[in-house]
Chain A
Amino acid sequence: MSALSQAEAPRTNISGFLLIAAGSVVAAVLLILAVPYYAGTSARIASLYTNVAGPADRLLAADISAYGVNRSRNLAAAKLDLSNEVKAETAFDNQLGTVTFPAAADPHADDLTAADAKRIKLIELQLKAPSLRKLRAFDSRVEAASAAVDAQVKIMRADLGLPAVSGGLY
């Protein structure tokens, strides 16, 4: 009995070591995989940004183009284009708020949202215009607001390593 216990004792200890070693090998593999995963964080954040900006840009490009046509001949259609523009910009701002940017980019995201909010407010004022002439009178102010948004977008995209865009897009 004693000899059996002595023979079994080392084997039991080895099984204990093997169990803990197996767990540690799994943990080590996961930690090794975590390093390149973590290194890809900035690319994933850039991807989050483009996932938000892409659909908003497509809607905005269509609305801006349609407004360019309607602004001189159809007040109702022009107002509908501007209203759609406001919706797309508001949706972009809301979705941008759900992304947690790195410390360097985070204040720039806030600046971008603030610039966009000013443009939205201006377009909402423009929507109250009673005539095409008065509607077009806002265009220069909206363009100036868009230029401010463009400047913030440029900074934001530079932070995220993305190519620049223009024309009021994100």
Chain B
Amino acid sequence: MSQRDTIQEQYPYPESSYPGGPYQGAYQEAPYQEAPYADDDYDEAFYQEYGEGQPQAKRRSIDAWMAQQSTNFPRFKRRSIALFFLRLPAFVPWFFILRGWLSLNAKDVLTLAEADVLGTGGEATFLIAVSITPLITLTGARWYAPLRRWYGIFFALIGISDATTAAITTSFSGGVFGRLAGHTFLVTGFLIILIAAPVLLTANTPAQRRLGTYWKKIQKLTYVIWGMIIIHLALLDGFHPFDGPQGDGDPAFHQRFYQILVISLPLVILRLPPVKRWVADKRAAGEQWKVWLTFAPMAALYLLAFAFIINEEIFTGLQVMTLNPPAN
């Protein structure tokens, strides 16, 4: 845990004139630099970044506090402990699907529900990965930046496991190819996995070092993946709320295309350079509350949509765990 944080993740991350800096890829923490162990001189780097007298007290206090050794577990930094626990949810989709795999698709549980569990899980991990940069922009705190690479990698791995399971167990006609690409929404899903493969393979420091400037271009495929996920969900759920004699009476809240649109809204806006500059200006002026106030409705909508994604994951995940799949 701590070794990976120390060696592979450069920390804190070099910053441009405004928080978040230029786009660095969903899986990347910073452009490659020769100094390999930035984490070792965290305190020094930190105070170089924020000179004396800057009104960054809150941000400094959070990152600095996280960089200290834990009181209860002095061998570890607080940041390492926090990151350890924040990384665990990435395993949840596999935890839910495990019984389906081990039972070799008993009661057709994988046929009926694997895409819901692994697909929703993959979507959630991707959205967490692309949420880290905007969150850094918004809060100024950078201690959780390694989660971007972590959740990005898990998005790709969960997606690959989803495609593999679907290729074997789903009921679409046309053999393996039909099960992977027999419908338009399946084609987009399959393309997501194909595009994610090079991003996954290069989501490590040695690849970053070898590829140089090309590395960033490969990581920018994340934006293509993002667009493809939106198209995939639009093709899957359509543009209208679900209908038919099923559900819990809130079909619009469960519409995955709507969910990803309202989640993407703040994530895209917080990537726009003028917005990042405005946020940085307000923070520098000690008016962070204005940022939060302006951003609050988008944050509320983001959390609402994410709550329904988590709800879907738990609901369908429990169906697989208990071998009690939906009728269809």
Contact = CB atoms under 8 A, between A and B. Distances in A.
B269 A20 contact: yes
Interface string A33-50: 010011011111100100
Contacts of B296: 24
Interface stretch (B29-37, B41-49, B89-97, B241-249): B241-249
A51 interface: yes
Given A17-B278, A27-B300, A95-B245, A44 B294 contact: no
Contact of A97 (B252, B270, B327): B327
A99 B245 contact: yes
Interface in A1-38: 12-13, 15-17, 19-21, 23-28, 30-31, 34, 37-38
B281 interface: yes
Interface residues of A, number: 35
User: Is the contact region of chain A dominated by helix, strand, or loop, or is it mixed?
Assistant: helix
Interface residues of B, number: 33
A38 B250 CA distance: 7
A100 interface: yes
A23 B300 CA distance: 12
B175 interface: no
Task: Tell me the interface secondary structure of chain B in the complex.
Answer: helix
B266 interface: yes
Contacts, number: 97
Contacts of A21: 294
A65 interface: no
A30 B298 CA distance: 10
A48 B247 CA distance: 8
Given A23-B269, A24-B294, A28-B297, A16 B276 contact: yes
A99 B248 CA distance: 6
Contact of B247 (A17, A20, A23, A100): A100
Contacts of B251: 44
B278 A13 contact: yes
A24 B295 contact: yes
B228 interface: no
A148 to B, nearest CB: 24
Nearest to A94: B327
17 contacts: A12-B274, A13-B274, A13-B278, A13-B281, A16-B279, A19-B269, A20-B269, A20-B275, A20-B291, A27-B297, A27-B298, A28-B297, A38-B250, A38-B253, A41-B250, A98-B245, A100-B247
Interface of B: 245-253, 262, 265-266, 269-270, 272, 274-279, 281, 291, 294-298, 300-301, 304, 326-327
Given A34-B304, A43-B249, 17 more contacts: A12-B277, A15-B274, A16-B274, A17-B278, A19-B274, A20-B294, A23-B269, A24-B297, A24-B298, A42-B249, A45-B249, A48-B245, A51-B245, A52-B245, A97-B327, A98-B326, A99-B248
